Amino acid sequence: MIFGYCRVSTKNQKISRQVEALLEYGVEYANIYMDTYTGSEIRRKGLDELREVLKSGDTIVIKEIDRLGRNRSQTIELIKELIANDIDLVVLDTPYLQEFIIRELKKNEGFMEIMANTLLSLILEVAEQERKKILMRTSEGKRKALEKGIVFGRKQKITKDVFLEYYAQVLNDLLTPKDVQKLLGISKQSYYNYIKRYIEL
């Protein structure tokens, strides 16, 4: 059976993007387990409940590798636990994790002992750096918007040039639609109205 797991670690993070990605992959909503604003321990309510229902041959799908644990050592230990219990792990943002590393860990105990910590630490470091970059881009985008006179808050009339500049960042995966909505102070409906007005001519 296929299960999904989502986690956010701060009050400001939204879990909806993770849930949407899992649903898109094909995980049924009833099989998605979630933890929100958790502490530093790896044992969490949603994760504990998921562990209780997992059986050999099941699959866990997560959007990002660093959603499993609060730090590298926790995440590595949990991945080893899943492998030992014959549970497959699919990481949507890191497909090669399953294709190469987990496959090798499963078939070669020596490889696990020698290489697992190094390889998984590297992957988690990359994930951590990517998250920091996204935060920096969002902050930079807000600063530029303020410099252009965009006021954050209720209804704003956004010029075509300004909207297209931010929309290009969405197309290049530098920002999400929600990031743009927040930066420009517009609603989800307004965002898609601008797309219809400026893009879908």
Tell me the pLDDT of the chain averaged across its residues. Answer: 76
- Reported as a pLDDT band with limits 50, 70 and 90, residue 174 is confident
pLDDT at 130 over 80: no
Q: In this predicted model, what pLDDT tens digit does every residue of 31-86 receive, in sequence order?
A: 999 987 655 555 578 888 999 999 999 999 999 877 887 677 777 788 888 888 88
If asked whether residues 36 and 83 sit together in one domain, one would say: yes
> Which residues have a catalytic role annotated?
9
Residue 132 lies in a domain: no
Is there a single domain that holds both residue 154 and residue 190? yes
b/e code 64-78 from CB counts within 10 Å (16+ = b): bbbbbbbebebbbeb
Counts of helices then strands in the chain (DSSP H, E):
9, 4
Tell me the two tokens of residue 149. 């006179």
Please tell me the predicted confidence (pLDDT) of residue 187: 86
Does one domain contain both 16 and 89?
A: yes
Q: How many domains does the chain have?
A: 2
Measured CA to CA, the distance from residue 191 to residue 185 in angstroms comes to 10
Query: Closest Cα partner for 128 from 177, 174, 72?
Result: 72
Q: What are phi and psi of 59, to 5 degrees?
A: -130, 135
Q: Are residues 105 and 185 in the same domain?
A: no
Distance CA 161, CA 28 (A): 40
pLDDT band at 182 (very low <50, low <70, confident <90, very high): confident
Please say if the pLDDT value at position 164 is more than 70: yes
Q: What is the pLDDT of residues 79-98, one digit of tens each?
A: 888 888 889 888 888 776 65
User: Is 167 a domain residue?
Assistant: yes
| pLDDT given for residue 146 in this prediction | 63
- Same domain, yes or no: 182 and 112: no
Q: What is the pLDDT of residue 103?
A: 63
- Predicted confidence at residue 154, as pLDDT, reads 47
- Tell me, yes or no, whether 15 and 101 share the same domain: yes
Distance CA 125, CA 71 (A): 10
Whether the per-residue pLDDT at 4 is higher than 90: the answer is yes
Indicate the pairing of strand 88-91 with strand 59-62: parallel
Of 125, 160, 184, the residue at which a domain comes to its end is 125
Query: Does 153 lie in the same domain as 120?
Result: no
Which CATH number belongs to the domain containing residue 22 in this structure?
3.40.50.1390
Residues 153 and 188 reside in one and the same domain: yes
Highest-scoring range by mean pLDDT, 23-32, 104-113, 136-145: 23-32
- Please tell me whether residues 20 and 70 are part of one structural domain: yes
Q: Are residues 37 and 116 in the same domain?
A: yes
| C-alpha dihedral (115, 124, 32, 175), degrees to nearest 10 | -150
Evaluated on CA atoms 93, 144, 191, 171, the torsion sign reads negative
Residue 79 inside a domain? The answer is: yes
Enclosing domain of residue 65: 2-125
Residue 136 has pLDDT above 90, yes or no: no
- Token output for 48: 């504990």
User: Looking at residue 163, which CATH number applies to its domain?
Assistant: 1.10.10
Is 116 a residue whose pLDDT tops 60? Answer: no
**Where residue 141 falls among pLDDT bands split at 50, 70, 90?**
low
The answer to the question of residue 93 being in a domain is yes
Judge if 82 and 175 occupy the same domain. no
